[in-house]
Amino acid sequence: MSRESAKLTGQGRLKGALRGALIAVMCVSVGACSLFNRGNDDEFEIIEEEPADRLYNEGLALLGSGSYGRAAEKFEEVDRVHPYSEWARRSLLMSAYSHFEAGRYESAIGAAERYVNLHPGSEDAAYAQYLIGESHYRQIPQVSRDQERSEKAQAAYRALIERYPDSEYAVAAREKLNVSRDQVAGKEMEVGRYYLGQRQYLAAVNRFRTVVTDHQETRHVEEALHRLTESYYALGLVSEAQTAAAVLGHNFPDSQWYHDSYRLLQRGGYEPEESEGSWISRVFRGQAA
């Protein structure tokens, strides 16, 4: 290469460096911008990015008009374009809420979980956790179907109560937790009744035992104890049947289920009688079964 060619090449590189520096300065001066290469190494277009607060307010406007899907997209744009701003933190929560209102529960769960993971100490973290629980809760099916959603809702509500026990959402979470537990227990009862009707008594006992052990606070526990009385009596395990009936009568003396259990035992010449060595007794005394 000749000295003249080298000189021209060096000048070209210097111009390129100066042009890059100038673009960088321009970006700083406008606050936020991006570069778009048109395909020619020497031609760039400067695109000014919309400020975070403006994007956020546009999202709020869309939310207020009921355009939940578009609002979520606008809030996500804030997070994408201005990821380290305070507006990004707010927008992440608002995108979760927008998705929730739009019925996009999986997207709501994803955004809310990300918020909790990134900002666990935020004053809004409890609400984000509540949105996770509510998104699962809204998808709980009828008791005749699989109750995976109920279990996920329970887990989310328990996490809220444990992490943020003093938040206003913990109260609502406790109420929803009871409902979701009742739903799961109802499913166990339905399956247990099926086995009982098929005279598969051991399989039935396992289902009713789950209700008594894990869902003792639900409305199904009275029937579960009666069904245990029936199942154990049919198996010839009279002592266990007597214990189930005795525990039922002690805790729910006015229950129709207790009267039914009492009559069943009485027909065989037995009375309800608790055996303290039974797993049923240990469960109701708060001991491990």
Instruction: From first to last of the 289 residues of the chain, give the pLDDT tens digit.
Output: 443 333 333 334 323 432 332 233 233 333 344 444 445 555 544 445 788 889 999 999 999 999 999 999 999 999 899 988 889 999 999 999 999 999 999 999 999 999 999 999 999 999 999 999 999 988 876 655 666 888 898 899 999 999 999 999 999 999 888 888 888 898 899 999 999 999 999 999 999 999 999 888 889 999 999 999 999 999 999 999 999 999 999 999 999 999 999 999 999 999 999 998 999 999 988 754 5
User: Which neighbouring-strand residues pair with 45?
Assistant: 36
User: Which residues share a beta bridge with 37?
Assistant: 44
Tokens representing 11 are 């000048």
Rounded-to-5 percentages of helix, strand, coil across the chain: 70, 5, 25
Taking the model in full, what pTM does it have?
0.62
| pLDDT of res. 144 | 54
